[in-house]
Amino acid sequence: MILAGDVGGTKVYLALYDFVDGKLKYTREERYPAKNYTGLEEIVKEFLSADKVTAACFGVPGPVRDGRLRLTNLPWTLDSRELSANLGIQHVFLINDLEANGYGIAELAPDQIYTLSEGDPGQIGNRALVAAGTGLGECFLAWNGHHHLPFPSEGGHSDYAPRNEDEIDLLRFLKQKYNGRISFERVVSGMGLTNIYEFLREVRGLDEPNWLASRIASEDPNAVITEVALAAKSEICEKALDMFVSAYGAEAGNLALKILSVGGLYVGGGIAPRILEKLKDGLFMKAFTDKGRLSQLLVNMPVRIILESRAALMGAAAYAEARAAEISGISARAASVKI
């Protein structure tokens, strides 16, 4: 049995996987509010109970160095060696959360992916992965001639690059709000959608009806803005989502250029599936391909949306099994294949 984890700033997702005929088989999953626990070890012990696992991998937000990471949004320091010893799991690995998503792509079935743009599907080469959720994650998958190897990145924290007057004024607004430098994550993420909404309300003077202001104050602002925009019930919400999707497409195109992802760009994270209908209207792809003399290069790149919410867990499970097999010489995936 393989334990997979997706550790976020507010929640920890854990799942158990096995292998049947060489494919991952999901067993069970639980979500835990991180603030209610002293650390990951406590959560894992509660989740496993009597279950025995041979290997575990946790996707974590941030750069992992020598199997160790200090989380920025939680007072936790994770160490793979300590977790292995204290949990009694022989093989424990920590990898970047977008790296885990990258490994998950190979495990996805066709119905777990939506093709936003076919591009040239015959192209073979590097792939890119961008994922907006609580933050903005980025990853590149290098093609080695046989398969794609995911490499982590902190590109979501690179400098925000405005492209028009609205975005230039948005940058000024955010520089004042945050008193300094602005990264793409301040615009393309959950917080980013709210930031854009506030800019339109406070700088552009778009009307915020009383019923909307009440909902924004009492509910999750991002959920409200998205719901109202998709239902076309408020100009300010529609404009906010338009600006968000356009900025998302632009940064996806930036990543694709830097990696030269002729093998395709994948859009992951929690936001994309919720706004899939909006992503289909052409605004995302217009910004993605608007790269001047290199626009045709982007037009030829396939763009796919990951619909499966467990992609990171699947990738973590696949990574745990593969690395444990390298170390032990015993592959659970290979052993599950019937001859």
pLDDT at 30: 95
Per-residue confidence band for 200, with pLDDT thresholds at 50, 70 and 90:
very high
What letter represents residue 122's amino acid? G
| Burial track 65-96 (b if 16+ CB lie within 10 A, e otherwise) | eebebebeebebebbbeebbeebebebbbbbb
pLDDT at 111: 96
For residue 296, the surrounding DSSP H or E stretch is helix 295-299
pLDDT at 191: 93
- Burial label for 331, CB within 10 Å (0-12, 13-18, 19+), is middle
326 Cβ contact partners less than 8 Å away, ≥ 6 residues apart: none
**pLDDT tens digits for range 63-118:** 899 999 998 778 899 999 999 999 999 999 999 999 999 999 999 999 999 999 99
H runs (alpha helix) in the chain: 40-48, 80-87, 97-105, 165-178, 190-202, 210-218, 221-230, 235-259, 271-274, 276-279, 283-289, 295-299, 311-328, 332-335
329 Cβ contact partners less than 8 Å away, ≥ 6 residues apart: none
**pLDDT tens digits for range 3-55:** 999 998 789 999 999 999 999 998 999 999 998 999 999 999 999 987 889 99
User: Mean per-residue pLDDT for 175-186?
Assistant: 97
Tell me: pLDDT of 338 over 90: no
- Tell me which of 69-83, 227-241, 310-324 is least confident: 69-83
Sign of CA dihedral 306, 73, 322, 48: negative
The answer to whether 139 touches 129, Cβ cutoff 8 Å, is yes
* Domain architecture of the chain: domains with CATH: 2-104+310-335 (3.30.420.40), 109-307 (3.40.367.20)
Largest CA distance in the chain: 67
Tell me: pLDDT of 274 over 80: yes
